[in-house]
Structure 1
Amino acid sequence: MSTDSESAIESFRDEIDPFVFLGGAIVTILAIGYIAARPDAAAKSLTNANNFLWSELGWLFLWAMFLAVAFCLWLLIGPWGNIKFGDPNEEPEFSYFSFLAMLFSAGLSTGLVFYGPAEALYHYSSGLPFFGSEAKSSAIVPDAIQYTMLHWGISPWSAYLVVGVTIAYYVHRKGAPIKPSTVFAPFIGVENLDENWVKPLDLLMVVISVGGVAVSLGFVVTQFLAGMSYNYGVEVGDLGTILVTVGLTVGFTASAALGVKRGIRRVSTFNMYLFITLLVVAFVFGPTAFLLTTGTEALGGYVNNFVGMSLYMNAANGVDWVGGWTVFYWAWWFSFAPMIGIFITRICRGRTIRQVVFAGLIGTTAASFPWFIVMGGSSLWVQTKGSLDLLTIVFEQGREVAGFPLFETLIPFGGVFAVGYLLLVLTFLITTVDSTTLSLAMFTTDGRENPSTVNRVTWGGLVGLLSSLLLISGGLAALKDFVVLLGFPIAFVLGLCVVGLVIEFEQLHPVLLTERYEKDERENTDQQTVAGYLSKRRPNWMGGTDD
């Protein structure tokens, strides 16, 4: 073995936290192995557990997300937004465009290409209880896009940002390690984050993170293979599925191994250019007037009905629809919040809280909303106008296929752009998984900012192996339910983050107790004035003056 290899392995051994790294890997392998070995039984048990959560505790998910949104909006407009991650004069490590590109690519990007053309179609075909509009009617078209905006707008990013801002503040201002358990810092102090009782949270985050990344990889492999089958008639068996998964694993592992500057930043920037190109082409060659009219109405409805939709449970008629859509999504975003929060921490040093929250809430939404309006609106347009029965295609071949026939129908040389769409699927997957793989490596090393290449490659290989196992065994859907189930405790983590940050920021910039502080200041000033006057009247031997 070469000296360089020995040095790399030795560095890897020295940096890892054995309890979190080995414990997380073992628990994850056992959980996913059981799901792969008994997918039907696992799916039934997990579905029952999730249904119980949705029906009995769905309100908790809705309130946790609504609290996260309210807190992030306050950070955006309030004085706490001026707090900087790092030293007062420290410059950001990345340009704002690169920062936004990495944030956007890491957060919801794989979901955009997977659900973008399809979700509004599902709402159109099934009806929306909140509006009471009839399924497959003209009235439900803007409503379908509006509800898609709820599920992919500022709400998921608020969950990510609450965790990210909490960890980033204590990492860049207090010297805490970059790991999920840093959310406890406001309550136990940074010096106690190495206590053994804190580490099970990091271990739990490893299990959730590996599961979430494996599901994302599985979805994209499924979408890629579906695109190959639809566009070129290429069918692959288990071996082909494994080879595609291995190829993608090599791609995102190489990007993660190159690091943030050389790997993740460059692929994320390419992503944004390709994303914008496809979006503009679909908008220009698609039903532009229809998209502008319907998108405007949907956006206005989103703003006007945001509170109502966010807290809507359909209590009178049963919570099945809300549980299957909104509560499911909120649990899904919760499960990803620690991973994305860790990645936000890694790339935000030198920026203010307001800059980070603006990028997460406004910047990413400004990119995702046009995508859902154009892709979802175009799907509804071709369906309602009869130029393409996209619903039948989606129901027969899966939602992952929807984008390919849509491009072919809307755009001249649509086959060329369908290839670009397929490429976007892959590059978004690479940026999402490489950023989360980097997060995994960071919080299994007890919070090192630049974990070793061996560590990143190890987690990338494990994710690829487990994804392949799930794909060929049919356990992907069960693992998705497992990850969503584990998102439930993260709702409480969000609450801890909000409470902890309020306590901490009130000490730096009092807002909630301003009147009390002003009263104390006046009393202190009055006391100092009286004391100063009396001291002047005292003789010299009492410490005053003679006059």
Structure 2
Amino acid sequence: MNNLKKSRRDTPLAVVSLLIIFSLVGGMTAFPKTSIDGAEKVLYWCTTIFASPILLFAFFAVLFVAWLGFSKYGKIRLGEGKPDYSTASWIFMFILSGLGSSTLYWGFLDWAYYYQTPGLNLTPESQEALKYSVAYSFFHSGLSAWAIYAVGAVAMCYHFHVRKNKGLSLASMIEAITGCKASGPVGRLVDLLFMLCMFGALTISLVLTAITFAKLLSILTGIPDTFTTQVIIILAVSVVFTLSSYVGMDGGMKRLSHMVCWGVVILALYIYVFGPTQFITSNSLSSLGLMLTHFVDMSLFTDPMGDGKFTREWTVFYWLWWISYAPGVALFVTRVSRGRTIREVLMAMVVGGCVGIWFVFGVLENYSVHSFMSGLVNVPDVLSKQGGEVAIGMLLDHLPAGRAVMAFFLAVMVVFLAAHMDAVGYAVSATCTRDLEEGEDPAPADRLFWCVMLTLVPLAMIFAKAPLNTMKTAVIVTAIPFALIILVKVYGLLKWLREDYGHVPSHQIEEYQRPLQVVAEEAPTAGPVVASKQAV
């Protein structure tokens, strides 16, 4: 792939985005208590009003992905030529674009939150709540989550690789679907929301990683766990992912993704082998069975006869968190998926993503659950009184060669965060570059600039000592509009599929697509609709 030789940066979008972000950062820093109180109210209001629509959105995303993957349209190839990356590298890269380093934090502790505040009206801290705790973790990181990613990703891939529309940005796709100009008010608003959403979505991952890293580093080396230490950690990670982003997709992101995936797999395998192997295996299978058996109940649980707190604070929040990342993941998946079929993208994202995260969560969480049940570490109590990062440190320390494992965990966490920030930085810089075409990347200087900017909001959150709910608010406020934008993208995708391939029998799609690709190369702006007339 050739990098974009001449910068076509969207300066007005960059300036307006940064002005808003700087204002939010300044307000958070100057008025931390007021900001936190306001965030609590906004979080409650958003998750109450939009609870049912968001639950339905996620549930139907699963149904849509299943239909699309098994339909004749699954055979459509997204772009010409062979894929740019091996299957393993490809899956590693876009899974990492959709998972933050906070995955390692939640991997040890997610179940403990559900044990203390369970869903389905279970009694808190009961045997039944413990039974469902890992199952709920599998649910919140499973089929619905990856289906949300896949819906937006396939639509963007089709827009860019099959329709040959210029611009690797949400506004360019909205223009192609609705006719509203990317440079007009609607397009400007869409891209602005995207920019703000990327900053908000990254906040939880970066803040939780910095806090956890600083605490574990203090346990390991005795270095004081202070705000200064956390800032230094964030800046150090920023240097890593900035260098990776500057080097480019092939030299930077590809290598980081391999390092992270192998690092996480090695960590999980070590805990599986040297931890309670039999319990990890049996409870992982049991939790997976519970989740699949009660998938519809979990998906549509609104708690109308209760206070709805669990649904608001966990399920709805999680779906909005995944929605907030979905536009950026779509841009990144589009960049690395040329030459793949729609079915391949959907299978790799939903099946590959679920299997990968279920394996990691199954090992880490069930080791944590077993430590609690055996009296080794009272994880829920430590989480409530001392913080999740302390609980993680205690869990790692009880493993054979615990200090070495802790050091390895920190190394994996840093590279994980760098890889994730690299993917987000690419999506932001691509949005701020006008008319990107297939084979082009944003200019290295632009990627470098946005990598630096992405650290500002998390730094303000740490300085203000913002609680988890405040960080959640930073995600959901900008995520809600993107549920509507994803629906527009789905409408556009269905419209294009019907126009381009609705009349083509399933067994002829691959043969039919070849002449379209030749015509598309000769007239890249025509799209398959025009091309099909010429080909026939």
Match of 2:174 among 181, 184, 205: 184
Contact 1:81 1:352 in 2 (8 A): yes
| Pairing 1:211–2:200 present | yes
Paired AA for residue 95 in structure 1: S
Distance 1:393 1:476, change over 3 A: closer
| Pairing 1:382–2:332 present | no
Paired AA for residue 482 in structure 2: I
**CA–CA separation in structure 2 for the residues paired with 1:307 and 1:440:** 35
Match of 1:198 among 183, 187, 209: 187
| Pairing 1:308–2:290 present | no
Aligned to 1:445: 433
Aligned to 1:428: 416
Distance 1:475 1:458, change over 3 A: farther
TM value normalised by structure 1: 0.86
Aligned to 2:520: none
Aligned to 2:400: 412
Contact 1:313 1:319 in 2 (8 A): yes
**CA–CA separation in structure 2 for the residues paired with 1:69 and 1:359:** 14
| Pairing 1:152–2:129 present | no
**CA–CA separation in structure 2 for the residues paired with 1:327 and 1:249:** 30
Match of 2:484 among 463, 470, 492: 492
Deviation track 1:229-267 (CA, whole Å, cap 9, x = no partner) reads 233332143333322221111111111111110000001
**CA–CA separation in structure 2 for the residues paired with 1:284 and 1:219:** 27
Aligned to 2:527: none
TM value normalised by structure 2: 0.88
Number of residue equivalences: 499
1:220-299 aligned within 5 A: 220-299=209-288
1:127-166 aligned within 5 A: 128-130=118-120, 132-166=121-155
Contact 1:46 1:485 in 2 (8 A): no
Aligned to 1:534: none
Deviation track 1:260-311 (CA, whole Å, cap 9, x = no partner) reads 1000000100111111111111111121221222111111121121122111
Contact 2:100 2:416 in 1 (8 A): yes
Aligned to 2:451: 460
| Pairing 1:18–2:11 present | yes
**CA–CA separation in structure 1 for the residues paired with 2:201 and 2:467:** 11
**CA–CA separation in structure 2 for the residues paired with 1:218 and 1:206:** 19
Distance 1:208 1:29, change over 3 A: same
Structure 1 residue 18: deviation in Å?
A: 2.1
Contact 1:80 1:509 in 2 (8 A): yes
Find the residue that maps to 1:487 and give its secondary structure: helix
Contact 1:84 1:352 in 2 (8 A): yes
Contact 1:101 1:268 in 2 (8 A): yes
Paired AA for residue 17 in structure 2: G
Contact 2:142 2:358 in 1 (8 A): yes
Match of 1:394 among 383, 403, 410: 383
Paired AA for residue 408 in structure 2: G
Match of 2:502 among 497, 510, 525: 510
Match of 2:47 among 45, 54, 57: 54
Aligned to 1:327: 316
Structure 1 residue 358: deviation in Å?
A: 0.9
Contact 2:268 2:363 in 1 (8 A): yes
**CA–CA separation in structure 1 for the residues paired with 2:276 and 2:130:** 14
Paired AA for residue 76 in structure 2: I
Aligned to 2:33: 40
Aligned to 2:114: 123
Runs (4+) of structure 1 moved beyond 6 Å? 511-514
**CA–CA separation in structure 2 for the residues paired with 1:381 and 1:510:** 53
Structure 1 residue 313: deviation in Å?
A: 0.8
Greater Cα offset, 191-200 or 376-385: 191-200
Paired AA for residue 483 in structure 2: A
**CA–CA separation in structure 1 for the residues paired with 2:242 and 2:373:** 43
Structure 1 residue 187: deviation in Å?
A: 2.8
**CA–CA separation in structure 1 for the residues paired with 2:414 and 2:455:** 14
Find the residue that maps to 1:268 and give its secondary structure: helix
Q: Could you say what the CA RMSD is over the residues aligned between the two structures, in angstroms? A: 2.3
Structure 1 residue 31: deviation in Å?
A: 2.1
Paired AA for residue 99 in structure 1: W
Find the residue that maps to 1:234 and give its secondary structure: coil
Contact 2:25 2:456 in 1 (8 A): no
Contact 1:379 1:406 in 2 (8 A): yes
Structure 1 residue 369: deviation in Å?
A: 0.5
Distance 1:215 1:512, change over 3 A: farther
Greater Cα offset, 135-144 or 271-280: 135-144
**CA–CA separation in structure 2 for the residues paired with 1:407 and 1:158:** 33
Larger gyration radius, structure 1 or structure 2:
1
Contact 1:66 1:310 in 2 (8 A): yes
| Pairing 1:100–2:91 present | yes
**CA–CA separation in structure 1 for the residues paired with 2:391 and 2:505:** 53
Structure 1 residue 118: deviation in Å?
A: 0.3
**CA–CA separation in structure 1 for the residues paired with 2:249 and 2:29:** 33
Paired AA for residue 112 in structure 2: L
Deviation track 1:166-225 (CA, whole Å, cap 9, x = no partner) reads 111111112221001244245335x94444531221111111112322442222111110
| Pairing 1:470–2:461 present | yes
Greater Cα offset, 376-385 or 137-146: 137-146
Distance 1:122 1:465, change over 3 A: closer
**CA–CA separation in structure 2 for the residues paired with 1:459 and 1:214:** 15
Contact 1:274 1:424 in 2 (8 A): yes
Find the residue that maps to 1:117 and give its secondary structure: helix
Instruction: Show structure 2 runs of 5+ residues with no match.
Output: 507-536
Aligned to 1:542: none
Aligned to 1:110: 101
Contact 1:142 1:295 in 2 (8 A): no
Find the residue that maps to 1:248 and give its secondary structure: helix
